[in-house]
Amino acid sequence: MPLVRIDVDASTSPETRAAIGDIIYEAMTSTAKVPVNDKFMIVSAHAAGELVFPKEGYLGVEYTPGIVFIQITWNAGRTTDVKKAFYRKVADDIHSKTGIRTEDVWISLVEVSPENWSFGNGEMQYAPK
């Protein structure tokens, strides 16, 4: 059920983009209990100036042009502790496996009800019973 959008600078190598996607998927399945094989991702690379962030930082976090924006739409219901563990795992693993600074791993979760998905065939697979 998650839809993951990953936005990176165009200078980010295809290998690093793939690694980021794999890291997020692994964290979703291990930490947030997303079903295996539920891997739907859109990875977009942007030209210089297309990823906009506060140059002076925000909430004590300083960013670089290497920022990675991650937005995940998934079903509501996970606890705050699960979300915190997920954020930490994604940031730490991206840093350890790609060298991207943890400060540059920006994550937004969008929570929706299960009936807000159609996985094909024009059907509502998670329709209320």
Please answer whether residues 10 and 48 qualify as being in contact, where contact means their C-beta atoms are separated by less than 8 angstroms: yes
Choosing from 2, 14, 114, 128, which is the catalytic residue?
A: 2
Query: Letter for the amino acid at 103?
Result: E
Burial of 73 (0-12, 13-18, 19+ CB in 10 A): middle
Does the annotation count 2 as an active-site position? Answer: yes
Please answer whether residues 71 and 108 qualify as being in contact, where contact means their C-beta atoms are separated by less than 8 angstroms: yes
Catalytic residue positions, numbered: 2
